[in-house]
Amino acid sequence: MYNNLTQFEILTLQQENNNFVLSIIVAIITFISAIIVYCDYRNRKNKERAEKSIHIAEEFAKNIIGPISVLDAFFETFEIDKIIKKINFLDLEDFDNEELKFIYTQEDIDKYVEVINTSDPKGKIRTLICNTLNKLEYMCMYISTGVADEKYIYNSLHQQFLSAIALLYFEISIANIDDKDKYYTNIIHVYNLWKNKYIKATKKQNKFKEKMKRKLLPNHKI
């Protein structure tokens, strides 16, 4: 192979071959290193997201459940809950003025506003509602942006969260007059995300129950 080449040319070719092999080895090592770094990054990110999710669940328990219980008791005392519960929470979606007027009568809306104003002259309930919504919006921002992994939170919080937001539906929708400049967008996003997840899980569960019923029915074949 190298018979007609000078020693210098032979050494040059050998060096080029060595460089080629070395470049392949370097490329393989770089690729493997990139995979290791990526996996490590993902593991760290997943861990951070899981930790943030746990923190949000703790914050919900400490700072949301108490105020929601107070609001629930207040609404029940002044029979506002009867107005709110006229609509199934699964029908709530846009959380704006237009939807509010579509699913509730004007009489219901006027009665809600009147009862709140007359029963809360010092504005303590309004302040509690506002503070609670702001805290919920802050928590939901982490879920909406993916900083926290909602799958870690959904199972433990979805029922309480959906109930809480349904309770505050009037307040959110009354505030949202302009679609281009909506309030509480992260709350609305997480609500619809978890509502749809709940609907899907319920359908799956009902399908499974129906399947089990058919299995348990006596076989009439002879």
Question: Is 65 inside a domain boundary?
Answer: yes
Instruction: Show the domain range for 75.
Output: 49-216
Give domain status of residue 174, yes or no.
yes
- Indicate whether 20 belongs to any domain: no
Q: What are phi and psi of 176, to 5 degrees?
A: -95, 80
Residue 31 lies in a domain: no
Average pLDDT, the chain: 83
Number of folded domains that form the chain:
1
CA distances, 206 to each of 145, 154, 158, 197, 218 (Å)? 32, 20, 19, 14, 20
pLDDT per residue over 55-100, tens digit each? 888 889 899 999 999 999 999 999 999 999 999 999 999 999 999 9
Please check whether residue 42 lies inside any domain of the structure.
no
Domain annotation covers residue 21: no
* Residue 15 located in a structural domain: no
Query: What does the pLDDT read at residue 4?
Result: 61
- Tell whether 4 is covered by a domain: no
What gap in Å lies between CA 90 and CA 203, rounded to an integer? 13
pLDDT in tens, 130-179: 999 999 999 999 999 988 888 878 888 889 999 999 999 999 999 999 87
Q: pLDDT at position 203, please?
A: 87
